[in-house]
Amino acid sequence: MTTSGRANLFLGLAVVLALVFIRLGLWQVSRLQEKRAINAVAAERRGRPVVDLDDPAQAATVAGAGIQNRRVTITGRYDAAAEVVLRGQIVQGVPGVRFVTPLRPLRGDTAILVQRGYVSSPDAQTIDPAKFVEDGVVRVAGIGLTLPDSGVLGQPMEKDGVTTWRRVDLAALRARLPYPVAGYYILQTPDSALPKLPRRDDAPAFDEGAHLSYAIQWFAFATIALVGGFLFRFRRPAER
């Protein structure tokens, strides 16, 4: 193959690579737009009036997926004996656990899971749940979030008499509890009137992910491929 032929082949490969990189960049832009649209819907839903789940009429307005990202309140009693301790939780680099506790509402027989918050633990597993029990009637305020089946049955593990779970699994919980469990949970948000521990989680941030930086990266690769290909192709033969 002649020198000119090799240069043309190199340029052709550079153009093909650039097209692939551009396509990947456009895909990341598309993902970013999808994420922004999802965040916009979530923000709009959180901005709506608080739903009092103690009121059947209000509760009916957020049935099913309608609960997602709605601010809600409900009154009931925690079933501490059925509490789920989630192991392997990390907050700002500190290992710990989170407590997810069924709330038995004062009205109705369907329990609602409440993610009460986080407590540090050296191995992200060892904890004494009895220290963080909240007795009596409680008023829970937070964000409603749907709870799909994880497909892993929670992966319970016992250590020192305490069972911890890798994640919440709706099917596994429904199988072990003697009462119905709603298909969503409430992320209890911070309130100065609540105990300091568990540490309540803030509402999930509207994170756009790394799609924009990835898109810029792919477009930069495309530019490098094109510029490099053309520079190589049109250099004088003596410089090749």
**Helices 211-233 and 3-46 sit at what angle, rounded to 10 degrees?**
170
pTM metric for this prediction: 0.80
Give domain status of residue 205, yes or no: no
pLDDT in tens, 152-191: 667 888 888 888 989 888 888 888 899 999 999 999 999 9
Q: How far apart are CA 97 and CA 142, in angstroms?
A: 19
CB neighbours (10 Å) of residue 171? 15
pLDDT of residue 1: 58
Q: What share of the chain is helix, strand, coil (3-state, %, to 5)?
A: 40, 30, 35
Same domain? For 10 and 83 the reply is: no
Co-location of 101 and 116 in the same domain: yes
Same domain for 128 and 13?
A: no
Same domain for 134 and 229? no
Residues 90 and 180 placed together within one structural domain of the fold: yes
**Of 28, 25, 7, 27, the residue nearest 17 (C-alpha):** 25
Q: 95 with 56, same domain?
A: yes
Question: Is there a domain that residue 97 lies in?
Answer: yes
Low-confidence ranges of the chain (pLDDT < 70): 1-5, 149-153, 235-240
Task: Check whether residue 7 and residue 124 sit in a common domain.
Answer: no
Q: Which amino acid is at 130?
A: A
Q: Which domain holds residue 74?
A: 48-188
